[in-house]
Amino acid sequence: MAALIQDSVMAAMAPALAAFADRLLGACATKQPLFCRFHSDADGIAGALAVRAAIRAHGHRKHVFHSSSPIYLVQDADYDLEGVGRWREKPLALLLDFGQNPESLEGLRQLHSRGAEILSLDHHPFTKDAQQFCSLFLNPWQQGPGGSAYTAGFLAAEIARLMFERMPPAPQEEFRQLDRLAKAALLSDGSGLAVKAIAESERADIDRLIIVLQYLCGRRAPDLRLNTAASVLASEEEFGRTYADAIDRMDACVRAALANLKCQKFPNGLRFCVVKVAGYGEPGEFPSSATVTTNIHLKSQEEPGPVVTVGISGRSLSIRASREAIAAGFRANEVVENLKKQLKNAIISGGGHDYAASVRPVPGCQSIVIDALAAAASSL
């Protein structure tokens, strides 16, 4: 089976992807204990499920998979080394979709100095300092700006595909599942490659898969064990039940948030809606504030005319612009970039796409930023 995306960036990364596959196959051959920590979102879990399927197909069972925050902490290293300690052998660590940031350096240093071999795969902006602790280190930003489109889950599925290719006869059903996971990884992280990779006819299936993956990530357990997730995906009945649970939960949150939706219409015809989306679950629970905002934005588009929706969560603002609002000149990413310059002291960070962006105000400055967004929308 061919790679899902074939372009110059993938070609440049091919040797590194093959090195990951080889090293993981080596661990399978020697039954080296392995743990994988993956970022707790649909991209991260899709990649972890793909790799897990591949190593299990190669008969490897000495493994632990669990989800993670975006930062690898020293206490994570303690926990992880304890988890594989029962096998009393030097472990292989696979860190997926996180952990190449400056905040993770101490955790990586610990893990490395205590004898784990680290394989690190991420697609977020990275620090070169993380590389020294890892025997394999891959990040598409190494190929140039815009690397985040090649999401970590997508790349992990590609590594899993290379591993499955070493198994005669090639297992077609496994390839089909990898393909779905890779597409869900791209689409859920908003990758520009998703449009190319996903046919219109399969879009609904991938959308459902993403919701189930997000729901599985959002379950409040100290760690999400991947066995549960894998068994949900393996059974159509369980998948259907989980999807229905996820939709119920989403509907309840959207209904609760809708009660707080406040819209105003500016003289230029643009509607500007603000909604509080935090407080309907613990941080990290399903659905995320961003997902609730997207769904409220879909509702606010039922009325004709351009509309911008701002979802207020605990720490950040999610901004959504309808197609007509973009056409009228409200490109969310540009608006955020302008505000970052105008309100230097009120904004910590922000960015995104023309249809969806987010901004994190300095604590206490939320209403200043919302007012500035409203001003930008009314002055078009």
Each residue 186-225 as x (binds Mn ion by CB under 5 A) or -, in order, gives: ---x------------------------------------
Residue 316 C-beta: closest distance to Mn ion, Å: 17
Is residue 158 near Mn ion by the rule CB under 5 A?
no
Residue 216 or 376: the one with the smaller Cβ distance to Mn ion is 216
Q: Please give the C-alpha separations between residue 142 and each of 1, 9, 123, 191, in angstroms, as whole numbers.
A: 26, 10, 9, 17
Which span sits near Mn ion by CB under 5 A: 56-64, 144-152, 266-274, 279-287? Answer: 144-152
Q: What is the DSSP letter of 246?
A: H
Structure tokens at 136: 């394999």
Residue 65 or 280: the one with the smaller Cβ distance to Mn ion is 65
| Sheet containing 307-312: order of strands | 262-265, 271-276, 307-312, 317-321, 356-361, 347-352
Residue 142 or 378: the one with the smaller Cβ distance to Mn ion is 142
Contacting Mn ion within 230-289 (CB under 5 A): none
Residue 152 or 312: the one with the smaller Cβ distance to Mn ion is 152
Q: Please give the C-alpha separations between residue 123 and each of 1, 39, 191, 251, 290, in angstroms, as whole numbers.
A: 24, 11, 11, 32, 20
Q: Which of 76, 80, 97, 117 binds Mn ion (CB under 5 A)?
A: 97
Which span sits near Mn ion by CB under 5 A: 59-67, 91-99, 243-251, 336-344? Answer: 91-99
Residue 97 or 117: the one with the smaller Cβ distance to Mn ion is 97
Structure tokens at 345: 């002291």
Q: Please give the C-alpha separations between residue 284 and each of 114, 117, 217, 375, in angstroms, as whole numbers.
A: 30, 29, 8, 31
User: Residues in the chain, how many?
Assistant: 380
C-alpha torsion 329→335→337→343, nearest 10: 140
Give the helix ranges, DSSP H, for 259-365: 289-300, 323-327, 332-342
Residue 44 C-beta: closest distance to Mn ion, Å: 6
Residue 41 or 254: the one with the smaller Cβ distance to Mn ion is 41
Residue 304 C-beta: closest distance to Mn ion, Å: 35
Residue 215 or 280: the one with the smaller Cβ distance to Mn ion is 215
Give the helix ranges, DSSP H, for the chain: 8-30, 42-57, 74-85, 105-113, 152-165, 172-188, 193-197, 203-217, 226-234, 236-258, 289-300, 323-327, 332-342, 366-378
Residue 43 C-beta: closest distance to Mn ion, Å: 3
- With CB under 5 A as the rule, give the number of residues binding Mn ion: 5
For Mn ion, the nearest residue by Cβ is: 43
Residue 214 C-beta: closest distance to Mn ion, Å: 12
Contacting Mn ion within 32-61 (CB under 5 A): 43
Residue 43 or 117: the one with the smaller Cβ distance to Mn ion is 43
Distance from the Cα of residue 208 to its chain's centroid: 16
Contact residues: Mn ion, CB under 5 A: 43, 97, 151-152, 189
